[in-house]
Chains A and B, each alone.
Chain A
Amino acid sequence: MAVMKKSGDKKEVPAISTASLPDVIFMILFFFMVSTTMREQEVMVRYKLPQATEVAKLEKKSLVSTINIGVPASHMQAQYGTAPRIQLNDSFKSARDIGDFIGAERDQLNEADRAQMTISIKADQYTKMGIITDVKQELRRANALKISYAALEGEGY
């Protein structure tokens, strides 16, 4: 009561209980464990994916191999330049190496799954089609015909 309050009366504010803090943090933790996937490879190129409206989700992650195409990341430009490059696994390669890459990726899959293998092409939106066409021709040569052009879901024009 205000009347009883004297000047100099030091009333202690009760400490905020932190007993439920671990529970809250665990909840956030579980959310992240469920909704994210492990990073598989370091992406060495910088890309901004194009936008599309008709995108479909890639179903089985284990059957998907990724080809990254774009300008090398800024800390690598001193070494690799600024022209768009193709990244396979953890290094920059040329289109000619795609056959070997597909072979290696295919060997890692079960025999039954090999026909289902999908190649996800993650290319920067400012890439020229020349490099993409080369990649596509190599994929056809390697008989990896199921592809997916990675794109962000957007509004459309």
Chain B
Amino acid sequence: MGNNRKTPEVRADSQADIAFLLLIFFLVATTMNSDKGLSRVLPPLPPEDVKVEDQKIKDRNVLLVFVNAAGQIMAGDESMDIRGLKEKAKEFITNAADDENLPEKKDTEIELEDGSKWTYPVSEGVISLQTTRDTNYEVYIMVQNELARAFNEVRDNVAMNKFGSVFEELNEDQRNAVTKAVPLKISEAEPRQGAKK
């Protein structure tokens, strides 16, 4: 009466092979590298029909960083090692001693998340990065990186003084406020006219 027939057990031997097959498929068809990079915003092209008046930026507000084909760096009017560039840029951005030859500052009101206003002397300085057509990309990225580091360190300092923790650990509103106080002003705009091939 009782049906004694047993259901045969499903064989699991081949399961490993199937899993291996899937594994190999994913190994081949996918990539590991997550995209990382230095983010920048390019300046928009001026409209062609409008004549660009030479923007008058005072000399003291511009730090010219020039990289030549041999990878030599000039910042301001002195030749510079890559190691010194960060300090030079930081000095330029902060202008802690209100030097007459370093950028002007303009008191700007920045709105905080709780609605209060925070007045910070925002630097008017622009770092202008120029290269020749023969400059190596690697050196260019190194210089970009040093400049970004200078800005990040200044932001960290400002964030520490204002909010009591480093830039990375702030919330989004605080981060926006610090970004407004220390804007990333690296101009890599026009290729140098005289250096055209």
Contacts and interface: CB of A to CB of B under 8 A. Distances in A.
| Pair from one complex | yes
Interface of A: 18-19, 21-22, 25-26, 28-29, 32-33, 35-39, 50-58, 61, 64, 118, 120-121, 123-130, 132-133, 136-137, 139-141, 143, 145-153, 156-157
Chain A interface, DSSP helix/strand/loop, else mixed: mixed
Contacts of A37: 30-31, 34
Interface in B153-191: 188, 191
B88 interface: no
B31 A36 contact: yes
Contacts of A150: 35-37
Nearest to B191: A133
A140 B56 CA distance: 22
Chain B interface, DSSP helix/strand/loop, else mixed: mixed
A75 B45 CA distance: 39
Contacts of A133: 131, 133, 191
B144 to A, nearest CB: 7
Nearest to B15: A22
A126 B71 CA distance: 12
B38 A55 contact: yes
Contacts of B140: 129, 132
A51 B83 CA distance: 15
B39 A36 contact: no
Given A37-B34, A56-B38, A129-B136, 20 more contacts: A22-B15, A25-B20, A29-B26, A32-B26, A32-B30, A33-B26, A36-B30, A36-B31, A39-B30, A54-B38, A56-B36, A56-B39, A57-B34, A58-B37, A124-B137, A125-B137, A129-B131, A132-B140, A139-B42, A149-B144
Contacts of B30: 32, 36-39
A136 B15 CA distance: 52
B42 A156 contact: no
A125 B136 contact: yes
A157 B82 contact: yes
A52 B133 CA distance: 21
B132 interface: yes
A21 to B, nearest CB: 4
B23 A32 contact: yes
A19 B12 contact: yes
Contacts of A123: 137
Contacts of B142: 50, 52, 157
B19 interface: yes
Nearest to A144: B42
A88 B141 CA distance: 22
30 contacts: A22-B15, A22-B18, A25-B16, A26-B19, A36-B31, A37-B34, A50-B137, A51-B141, A52-B37, A52-B142, A53-B149, A54-B38, A54-B145, A54-B152, A56-B37, A58-B35, A64-B35, A124-B137, A126-B137, A127-B137, A128-B135, A128-B136, A129-B132, A129-B133, A132-B137, A140-B45, A150-B36, A151-B36, A151-B38, A157-B142
